[in-house]
A and B are shown apart, each in its own frame.
Chain A
Amino acid sequence: MAIFNEKYEKMERSELEKLQSERLVSQVKRMYENVPLFKKRMDEANLQPKDIKGIIDISKLPFSNKSDLRDEYPYGLFAVPMKDVVRLHASSGTTGKQIVVGYTEGDLKMWSECVERALNAAGVNKDDFVQVSYGYGLFTGGLGLHDGATKLGATVIPTSTGNTQRQIQTMIDFKSTCFCSTPSYLMQISEIINRDYDKNKLSLKYAILGGEPWTNEMRDIIEKSLNIKAYDIYGLSEVMGPGVSYECEYQDGMHINEDMFIPEIINPDTGEVLEDGSLGELVFTTITKEAFPLIRYRTHDLCRLNKEKCKCGRTFIRMEKPQGRSDDMLIIRGVNVFPSQIEEVLLKERVGITPNYQIIVDRINNNDTFTIKVEMGDDLFSDDIRTIEKATKSLESSIRSTLGIKPNVVLVSPGSIERSEGKAKRVIDNRKLI
């Protein structure tokens, strides 16, 4: 399969590390001069830009965090004058106040390059019809994929999110070969296609999915139900947007665009860098971004890095699918709970094909209550109360055997769990700790 930019994607590791070192050194210098918060943090740590001689010194540098983006809102962390900024994106995140990021013309070019590499790695080229069903607007998903697919020369169909019937009709009529959206949205769409449409009328070959955590079980369901290949794309607006890393045809981890981003895995509690292959929090340092560079930005995504050489020939390191978030992890009655574990059970128990769920935790009389709202699906429904109650009980006991604590499963109407930008809000923690 095609490799979009062999020079970088297949660069010898030693050469790549040299390039990373050069870029890191100049970025640190530039940020020290232009970003007051960064200068302050460096000064506090008794560090000068000249102390950073290459990637070997990266762990000396201070971390940055989402709270920095909120504190310095809107433009405090920008490293160029605003006249050089040609685009802004914002994200509300799942908790509270919005954050804003900026791009120079050069940044947008690099971003498009990231997306072009990702699309190309999945097999997408000029001949393809790329339907971009991520939200267009302040969210980076829509425009990110849009610009990359346009630059690649594919025929772009900018449907944005929503209006599912029309998405499907467009997919059929315009002969879309590649669909880009959140995985849960494509699951929803596939369910409707399989119910109401003739699947043979689709021209779809691949899907580029990201924007929310998903599992290999979900990939299986999507690939089988639509006869396509589904590729994972990763990114976050603080670091760039979609395309920070992407899957190749071997679908065994996402290659990180290491000529632009340096990844590290740290212990989320102590901040110490973990040895190769350990599970920990993913941290990124951008080394080409002009408008909004970040040093050691904590993503709160928990995953592993894989340094082994990939069969595709790319030398870029691979990151595993994030297994959860270090800040999403719930401790319920002393047990660590990741939403992804619950999702896997729901998929195995086949609660409809789209397991839309929400975890609600509260503390009543000093006791944690643990409720999982699950949207009712066709497969689970029956005219007989006992049949449904039996299925609910079996769901509760499967979750209990996975997590070690028993939830109270509540069935709700389809579509009733609130969503934003196509992402379901997975966790509501109402506990007030006194």
Chain B
Amino acid sequence: MFVKQVSIFLENKPGRIYDVIKLLGTNNIDIKALSIADTDQFGIARLILNKPNTAFNILKENNFIVKINDVIAITVSNKPGGLIDALSLLYNNNIGIEYMYAFVGDSDINASVILKVDNMEDAFKLFEKNGIKLLSSSLVHEKD
């Protein structure tokens, strides 16, 4: 079903994202996707990782503020307008997008997109029913 996303609080200070990436690297956590949202006061790093639970524990131990939540990962064809079908489904069903970001897939033909919407369950069913390719969590995460 849903894919697990790890979110981390970033103080508005140089080097904070470097600390996160270095910590995950030394613990052999693979970063599949990364997006940073920031304001002039603080930032949030959102990551898709091969082992979200392991990463959560390591980050906690190192005094980071961390949270795990569900997001939807869809695969779209890597050509103009590839995303349109998915987005128009959401729009026509009044589902708002909180945020989205791209995910580097394994092939040249397809790209993946991470989506957080205001009604996750409905969006998921809608995509399933309308043939939008969903990336299953077993493809993204390893056992951890």
Check A415 against B63 for contact (C-beta < 8 Å). yes
Q: Taking the complex as formed, is B67 at the interface, i.e. its CB lies under 8 A from any CB of chain A?
A: yes
**Contact present for A385 and B37 (CB under 8 Å):** yes
A-B contact count (CB 8 A): 54
Task: Say which one of A142-150, A272-280, A338-346, A376-384 lies at the interface with B.
Answer: A376-384
Tell me which of B38, B39, B42, B69 has the highest count of chain A C-beta atoms within 10 A of its own C-beta: B42
Question: CB-CB contacts of A366-409 with B at 8 A, as 1s and 0s?
Answer: 00000000001110011111001100100000000000000000
Q: Which residue in A385, A388, A411 is a CB contact (below 8 Å) of B11?
A: A411
When C-beta atoms are compared, the residue in chain B nearest to A378 turns out to be B65
Among A383, A389, A413, which residue has its beta carbon within 8 angstroms of that of B5?
Answer: A383
B64 to chain A, nearest CB (A): 8
In whole angstroms, what is the CA distance A410 to B13 when docked?
12
Chain A neighbourhood of B69, CB < 8 A: 383
User: Which of A383, A414, A416 touches B44 (beta carbons < 8 Å)?
Assistant: A383
Establish whether residues A385 and B39, one from each chain, have CB atoms under 8 Å apart when the complex forms.
yes
Residue B92 is within 8 A (CB to CB) of chain A in the complex: no
Whether B98 contacts A381 by the Cβ 8 Å rule is no
| Chain A contacts for B12, CB-based, 8 A | 410
Closest to A381 in B: B65
A335 in the interface (beta carbon within 8 A): no
Contacting residue for A381 out of B9, B16, B37, B46, CB 8 A:
B9
A410 to B98, alpha carbons, bound, how many Å?
23
**In the complex, A331 has a CB within 8 A of chain B:** no
When the two chains form their complex, are residues A413 and B44 in contact, meaning their CB atoms are under 8 A apart?
A: no
When distances are taken between beta carbons in the complex, the residues of chain B under 8 Å from A414 are: 63-65
The residues of B that contact A411 with a CB separation of less than 8 Å are: 9, 11, 41-42
B7 at the binding interface (Cβ < 8 Å):
yes
Question: Which among B16, B39, B41, B116 has the greatest number of chain A C-beta atoms within 10 A?
Answer: B41
Complex: A376 Cα to B43 Cα, angstroms: 12
A412 within 8 A of B: yes
Most chain B beta carbons < 10 A, residue from A378, A383, A410, A414: A383
Question: Which residues of chain B come closer than 8 Å to A378, judged between CB atoms?
Answer: 65, 67
The number of chain A residues with a CB under 8 A from chain B is 18
Question: Quick one: given A376-B9, A381-B65, A383-B67, are A413 and B41 in contact (CB under 8 Å)?
Answer: no
A residues 118-139 near B (Cβ < 8 Å) are: none
Q: Which residues of A contact B37 (CB under 8 A)?
A: 385
| Closest residue on chain B to residue A196 by CB atoms | B60
Instruction: Give the docked Cα–Cα distance between A137 and B11 (Å).
Output: 34
B 9-48 binary contact with A (CB < 8 Å = 1; else 0): 1011100100000000000000000000111011010100
Say yes or no: A376 contacts B5, CB within 8 Å. Answer: no
Q: From A392, A412, A415, name the one whose CB has the most chain B CB atoms within 10 angstroms.
A: A412
- Asked if B41 and A376 make an inter-chain contact with CB atoms under 8 angstroms apart, the answer reads no
Within 8 A of B (CB), among A17-46: none
Given A381-B65, A381-B67, A384-B98: A413 in contact with B39 (beta carbons within 8 A): no
- B63 contact from A381, A383, A388, A413, Cβ within 8 A: A413
Select one of B7, B9, B46, B67 contacting A413, CB under 8 A.
B9
If the complex has contacts A376-B65, A377-B65, A392-B41, are A413 and B98 also in contact, measured as CB distance less than 8 A? no
- Show 17 residue pairs from A and B whose CB-CB distance is below 8 angstroms, ordered by the A residue: A376-B65, A381-B9, A381-B66, A382-B67, A383-B116, A384-B99, A385-B37, A385-B44, A388-B44, A389-B39, A410-B41, A411-B41, A413-B63, A413-B64, A413-B65, A414-B64, A414-B65
Interface of B toward A, CB cutoff 8 Å: 5, 7, 9, 11-13, 16, 37-39, 41-42, 44, 46, 63-67, 69, 98-99, 116
Residues of A at the B interface (CB closer than 8 Å) are 376-378, 381-385, 388-389, 392, 410-416
Q: What are the 8 closest A-B residue pairs judged by CB atoms, nearest first?
A: A383-B7, A413-B11, A381-B65, A376-B65, A376-B9, A412-B11, A411-B42, A415-B63
